[in-house]
Amino acid sequence: ELKVEQNPLFLSMQEGKNYTIYCNYSTTSDRLYWYRQDPGKSLESLFVLLSNGAVKQEGRLMASLDTKARLSTLHITAAVHDLSATYFCAVDPQGAQKLVFGQGTRLTINP
């Protein structure tokens, strides 16, 4: 059974700082997805990573995938308050056409 674990689960940081969220998964997959969720809202797709070494960047967020280590990272550069949200990673287990989600990382960015 595929397990997806995020670290940390809670993160409070100051504006202007850098930080990284980690996503580990337990079985082979080369398809990993990052989503953002604002309180009480649905999920918004951020990144789709489809191969080993894939790197995607959008604004202050950058995601990468290392399929050999079964690890993805979401790096936040010079954080701003608008990035406060819960971030989820999700993995498609061996082309099963479904996603298994991590527990989510609740990110709070303080002025």
Contacts of residues 59-67 at CB distance under 8 Å and 24 or more positions apart, as own/partner, are: 63/34, 65/30, 65/32, 67/28, 67/29, 67/30
User: Binding of other proteins at residue 31 (CB under 8 A)?
Assistant: yes
Residue numbers 36-55 binding other proteins by CB under 8 A? 41-45, 48, 50
Q: Which listed residue (72, 102, 107, 109) binds other proteins by CB under 8 A? A: 102
CA distance 26 to 10: 21
Task: Report the interface residues with other proteins, using CB under 8 A.
Answer: 4, 31, 33, 35, 41-45, 48, 50, 88, 90, 92, 95, 97-104, 106
